[in-house]
Amino acid sequence: MKKFQFSLDPVLEYKQQMLDSLTTEHQALLDKVRSQEQILASVEYRYDRTNLEYRRKKETGMLIAEAVSYETGLKVLEKEILSETQRLTALRCQAEEKLAELVATKQDASSIEKLRDKQLNCYQAELQKLQERFIDDLVCARGVARGSAL
């Protein structure tokens, strides 16, 4: 009997390569998300620190120009927080999309692997039947040979 060959092996290999690639891309996106979270946390920390400093100076008294400077700085930091939050949201969406793509590809590969396993099991069962038939034929042939020798 010929050696087992699965006709979809090239497709399965392609799906495995896609899985590897998507996994790498997804991990890179997760790294970017973590990095963006740190950037956002840093900007929020600067905002909180500046705001606290502004309130303390307001209590002790400050010049109007200084107050305007703080308010302008806080508005700039608020815009920066908004911008960094939007970037973070976009990166999270990209990571979720990549994860969905990864899951779909994994399901496709898994389906093909299950089909391959099913065909391999059928092949092995057929091979087992052929081997048993060969042994039965061999035993019969020996029995006939012994019977005719008597």
Residue 148 token pair: 């005719």
Residue 66, in any domain of the structure: yes
Residue 45: half-sphere exposure toward Cβ, Cα within 13 Å: 6
Determine the longest span between alpha carbons in the chain, in angstroms: 127
Number of compact structural domains in the chain: 1
Give per-residue pLDDT as tens, 76-122.
999 999 999 999 999 999 999 999 999 999 999 999 999 999 999 99
With a CB cutoff of 8 Å and minimum separation 6, the contacts of 30 are 95
Outline where the chain has alpha helix (H). Answer: 9-60, 64-149
Give per-residue pLDDT as tens, 119-145.
999 999 999 999 999 898 888 887 777
Residue 144, in any domain of the structure: no
Residue 102, in any domain of the structure: yes
Residue 114, in any domain of the structure: no
Tell me the CA distances in angstroms from 96 to 24, 59, 84, 100, 107, one per residue in order.
Answer: 14, 46, 18, 6, 16
Residue 50 token pair: 């500046």
Residue 60, in any domain of the structure: yes
Residue 125, in any domain of the structure: no
Residue 122, in any domain of the structure: no
- Structural domain of 16: 9-109
Residue 140, in any domain of the structure: no
pTM of the predicted model as reported, rounded to 2 decimal places: 0.74
